[in-house]
């Protein structure tokens, strides 16, 4: 050993092959890093095993965390929005460079002080796009007073959808009239024939009674909110008095009349939905025994109960005019199928109005036309909403003042 030598290296360095103390080559490390960037942990592990590369998800994530954060230039056009760490409880703020279309920062909350501090640390932002949150507006004013604040198209359409949903909530009779007419119309089939639509499920008497009681309680709360509001009470005081959130009180005050309740039994998701096409095919082929249909669905992955299949079979009998559990000789019966489009709800009617015309099905176009013809207020709301959505999507600011 030469004690005069300043180096203390006892293994040869191979900088083009592996890093010091590394247990994998640089080429393998780069491949694993690319795998982690593209797929993340678990998915990266599955593809790695297909490549005969044995690696754990923790290794892929550790390689990602070891990479230095990329230096992002201060954006000129900054998008500000919230994101949910735990939906309904904990929210943060995401900042996006809208010119490069890349997220550049995540903030731990959505307060004005946090946004203002980030803007002070990153001067140069000229335009800030945001929603209508007062916290983001205040943070932008304090952190970048010279920046121009605008509402982006997404939040404009979102606010329009919320307002339109409230209109349809107060105009439920118009929606019910369209749904009732759809239940009476035959459904055209691809082969040129027509079929009778499946009627909606009947609500049990006990469930009807419970729904009526809940509706009466909500209407009593609605009446109490408006009584206190006319007496000059503030929204926080009303919320404390009736025991509801401020959001609920504000929603009630935006509704001039109490809407007619709509039962949820006629729409929504069901564990039977993926198997209805098979049930209709077997039913129209002559198999009308609920237990036999239930047994055929079990090997296909159906996990629901027999009662649900029997209830659906009862609706099919009702559509064809058969009495319950009919026994006897076979007769010629009309073909039965699901309605051409789901029944209208306030939310579905909203997105039917705001959806692009070239993407609507023929049944949806007919449904929208029927809704437009039901009531003058509904027709006016539909026309105004579609005009506003068009001028926003096509970027026609010159049409905004005439629309207003």
Decide if 309 is inside a domain.
yes
Domain final position from 220, 244, 262? 262
Q: Is residue 351 included in any domain, yes or no? A: yes
Q: Same domain for 370 and 349?
A: yes
Residue 182 forms part of a structural domain = no
Per-residue pLDDT at 132: 80
Mean pLDDT by 10 residues, the chain (404 residues): 73 83 88 91 90 90 88 89 86 93 91 94 92 88 92 88 89 87 76 73 71 83 90 90 88 80 57 87 86 90 88 84 62 73 88 89 88 90 92 87 85
67: exposed, middle or buried (Cβ count in 10 Å: 0-12, 13-18, 19+): exposed
Q: Which helix (H) or strand (E) holds 236?
A: helix 235-242
Q: Is the same domain home to 276 and 329?
A: yes
Contact yes or no for 149/237 (Cβ under 8 A): no
- Give start and end residues of each alpha helix (H) in 144-171: 153-170
Instruction: Check whether residue 346 and residue 398 sit in a common domain.
Output: yes
How many angstroms separate the CA atoms of 288 and 304, rounded? 19
Question: What is residue 379's predicted lDDT score, i.e. its pLDDT?
Answer: 92
97 inside domain: yes
Distance CA(114)–CA(256), nearest Å, equals 38
Reading the block at residue 281, the tokens are 């095919």
Judge contact between 338 and 371, C-beta under 8 A.
Answer: no
33 in the same domain as 19: yes
DSSP bridge pairs for 196: 336
Considering the domain boundaries, does residue 185 fall inside one?
no
- Structural domain harbouring 34: 1-67
Looking at the fold, whether 115 and 134 belong to one and the same domain comes out as yes
Phi (first) and psi of residue 33, to 5 degrees: -65, -45
Shared-domain flag, residues 86 and 114: yes
**The predicted structure's pLDDT at residue 78:** 94
Determine the pLDDT at residue 266: 47
**Does 244 share its domain with 303?**
no
Does the residue 320 lie in any domain?
A: yes
Q: Is residue 235 one of the residues assigned to a domain? A: yes
Number of domains in the chain: 5
Q: Residue 399: how many CB atoms within 10 A of its CB?
A: 14
Q: Give the predicted TM-score (pTM) of the model.
A: 0.64
Query: Which of 262, 280, 297 corresponds to the end of one domain?
Result: 262
Domain stops at, among 47, 67, 87: 67
pLDDT in the model for residue 200 = 74
Same domain, 213 and 250: yes
* Strands 148-151 vs 187-188: parallel, antiparallel or unpaired: unpaired
Is 270 within a domain? Answer: yes
312: its two tokens: 């659906």
Q: Please indicate, yes or no, whether residues 145 and 160 belong to a single structural domain of this protein.
A: no
Rounded distance, CA 297 to CA 284, Å?
16
In this structure, the answer to whether residues 363 and 391 fall within a common structural domain is: yes
pLDDT number for residue 260? 65
- Which pLDDT value is given to residue 215? 81
Asked if 348 and 287 sit in the same domain, the reply is no
- Kindly state whether residues 56 and 118 are assigned to the same domain: no
What CATH number is associated with residue 234?
A: 1.10.10
């Amino acid at each position: 050993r030469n004690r005069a030598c300043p180096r203390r290296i006892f293994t040869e360095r191979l900088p083009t092959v592996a890093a010091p103390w590394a247990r994998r080559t640089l080429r393998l490390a780069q491949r694993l890093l690319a795998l982690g960037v593209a797929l993340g942990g678990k998915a990266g592990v599955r593809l790695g095993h297909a490549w005969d590369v044995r690696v754990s998800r923790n290794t892929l994530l550790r390689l990602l965390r070891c990479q230095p954060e990329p230096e992002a230039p201060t954006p000129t056009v900054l998008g500000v929005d919230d994101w949910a760490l735990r939906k309904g409880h904990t929210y943060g703020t995401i900042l996006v460079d809208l010119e490069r279309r890349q997220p550049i920062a995540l903030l731990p909350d959505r307060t004005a002080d946090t946004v203002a501090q980030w803007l002070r640390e990153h001067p140069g932002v000229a335009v800030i796009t945001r929603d209508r949150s007062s916290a983001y507006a205040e943070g932008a004013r304090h952190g970048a007073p010279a920046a121009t604040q605008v509402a982006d198209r997404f939040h404009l359409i979102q606010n329009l959808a919320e307002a339109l949903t409230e209109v349809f909530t107060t105009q439920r009779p118009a929606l019910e009239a369209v749904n009732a007419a759809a239940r009476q119309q035959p459904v055209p089939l691809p082969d040129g024939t027509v079929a009778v639509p499946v009627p909606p499920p009947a609500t049990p008497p006990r469930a009807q009674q419970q729904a009526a009681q809940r509706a009466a309680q909500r209407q009593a709360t609605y009446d109490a909110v408006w009584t206190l509001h006319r007496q000059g009470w503030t929204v926080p005081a009303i919320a404390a008095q009736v025991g509801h959130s401020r959001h609920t009180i504000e929603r009630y005050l935006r509704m001039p009349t109490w809407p007619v309740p709509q039962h949820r039994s006629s729409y929504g998701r069901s564990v039977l939905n993926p198997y209805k096409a098979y049930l209709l095919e077997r039913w129209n082929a002559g198999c009308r025994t609920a237990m036999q249909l239930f047994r055929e669905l079990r090997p296909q992955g159906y996990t629901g109960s027999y009662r649900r299949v029997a209830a659906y079979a009862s609706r099919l009998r009702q559509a064809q005019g058969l009495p319950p559990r009919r026994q006897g000789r076979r007769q010629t019966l009309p073909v039965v199928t699901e309605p051409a489009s789901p029944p209208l709800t306030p939310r579905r009617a909203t997105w039917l109005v705001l959806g692009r015309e070239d993407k609507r099905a023929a049944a949806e176009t007919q449904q929208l036309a029927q809704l437009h013809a039901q009531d003058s207020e509904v027709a006016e709301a539909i026309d105004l909403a579609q005009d506003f959505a068009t001028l926003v999507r096509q970027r026609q600011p010159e049409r905004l003042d005439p629309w207003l």
